[in-house]
Structure 1
Amino acid sequence: MRQARVRIGMGVLAAFLATGAAGAQQVAAPAVQVDPDGTVHVPAMTVPVSPMLSPEAQRYVAEHLREMQQPAMVAQKDGVPVFMMPYIARAKARFAYGLAERRIGGVRVFDYAPRAGIKPGNRHRVLINLHGGGFMGCFPGCAELESIPIAALGGIRVVSVDYRQGPAHKFPAASEDVAAVYRVLLRTYPAANIGIYGCSAGGMLTGMATAWFQRHGLPRPGAIGVFCAGLTSSANGFGGDADYMTAAVGEARPAPSGSSRPGSALPYLAGTDPSDPLVAPAASDAVLGKFPPTLILTATRGFELSSAVRTHGALVRLGVDAELHVWEGLFHGFFYNSDVPESQEAYAVILRFFDRKLGR
Structure 2
Amino acid sequence: MRIGRRPSLGLITASLLLGAGAVPASAPAQDNKGHPEIKVDDDGTLHVPELTVPTSSFLTPEGKAFLTYQLKSMKDPRSKILPPGGELPFFMIPYLKSAEQMFKVDIKETKVAGIPAMVFTPKDGVKPENRNRVLLNLHGGGFMGCYPGCGKLESMPLAALGGYKVIMIDYRQGLDHKFPEASEDVAKVYRELLKSYSPKRIGIYGCSAGGILVGQSLAWFDKEKLPMPGAAGIFCAGMTLSDVQFGGDANFISAPFGEAQMPAEPPPPKGAGLPPIPYFNKVRYDDPLVAPANSLELLAKFPPTLFITGNRAFDFSSAIYSHGRMVKAGAEADLHVWDGLFHGFFMNPAVPESQDAFDVMIKFFGKHLAR
What are the equivalent positions in structure 2 for 1:119-138 lying under 5 Å apart? Answer: 119-138=127-146
Residue of structure 2 in register with 1:234 after alignment: 242
In the alignment, the residues of structure 1 paired with residue 266 and residue 362 of structure 2 have an alpha-carbon distance, to the nearest angstrom, of: 41
1:276 Cα deviation after fit: 0.9
The match for 2:218 is 210
Please show how residues 192-341 of structure 1 align to structure 2 within 5 Å.
192-259=200-267, 264-341=275-352
Alignment match, 2:12: 11
Q: 1:105 and 2:113 equivalent?
A: yes
Superposed CA offset, 1:189-209 (max 9, x none): 000000000001100000000
What percent of counterpart residues are identical?
49
Q: TM-score with structure 2 length normalisation? A: 0.90
Partners in 2 of 1:334 and 1:223 — Cα distance? Answer: 22
State the TM-score, normalized to the length of structure 1.
0.93
CA distance in 2: counterparts of 1:347 and 1:178, whole angstroms? 23
Residues 135, 164 of structure 2: 8 Å contact kept: yes
- Shift in Å, 1:26: 5.6
Q: Match for residue 159 of structure 1?
A: 167
* Aligned AA (2:359): A
The Cα of 1:51 is off from its aligned counterpart by 1.7
Give the one of 62, 79, 83 matched to 1:76.
Answer: 83
Letter in 1 for 2:300: G
Counterpart in 2 of 1:20?
none
- What secondary structure sits across from 1:46 in the alignment? coil
CA contact (8 A) 1:9 1:44 kept: no
Report deviation, 1:10.
Answer: 4.4
Is this contact kept in 2: 1:233–1:262, CA < 8 A?
A: no
Are 2:15 and 1:43 equivalent residues in the alignment? no
Question: Per-residue deviation at 1:174?
Answer: 0.3
Correspondence for 1:191 among 181, 199, 213: 199
Q: Is the 8 A contact 1:264 1:271 kept in 2?
A: no
CA distance in 1, matches of 2:334, 2:127: 25
1:206–1:224 CA contact under 8 A, matched in 2: yes
Does the CA contact (< 8 Å) of 1:126 and 1:157 recur in 2? yes
Deviation, 1:150, is: 0.7
1:239 and 1:307 in contact (8 A); partners too: yes
Aligned pair in 2 of structure 1 residues 348, 97: CA closer, same or farther (>3 Å)? same
Q: How many residues align?
A: 347
Residue by residue over 1:165-219, the C-alpha shift from the partner in whole angstroms, topping out at 9 and shown as x without a partner, is 0011000110011011111111100000000000011000000000000000111
Superposition deviation, residue 81 in structure 1: 1.6
Give the C-alpha shift of residue 28 in structure 1: 2.7
Do the aligned residues in 2 keep the contact of 1:244 with 1:256 (CA within 8 Å)?
Answer: yes
1: CA distance, partners of 2:316 / 2:154: 19
2:153 and 2:318 map into 1 onto residues whose CA distance is 23
Task: Please name the residue that 1:22 is paired with.
Answer: none
Distance, in Å, in 1 between the alignment partners of 2:175 and 2:243 is 17
Matched to 1:347, the amino acid is F
Residues 112 and 157, structure 1, Cα contact 8 Å, conserved in 2: yes
CA contact (8 A) 1:169 1:268 kept: yes
Post-superposition offset of 1:71: 3.0
Whether contact under 8 Å (1:75, 1:82) holds in the other structure is: no
Q: Distance in 2 between matches of 1:193 and 1:10?
A: 45
Contact 1:10 1:44 in 2 (8 A): no
Give, in whole Å, the separation in 1 of the partners of 2:77 and 2:354. Answer: 25
Question: What is the deviation of 1:9?
Answer: 5.4
User: How much has 1:262 moved relative to structure 2?
Assistant: 8.7
Asked whether the equivalents of residues 84 and 141 of structure 1 are also in contact (C-alpha less than 8 Å), the reply is: no
Partner of 2:24: none
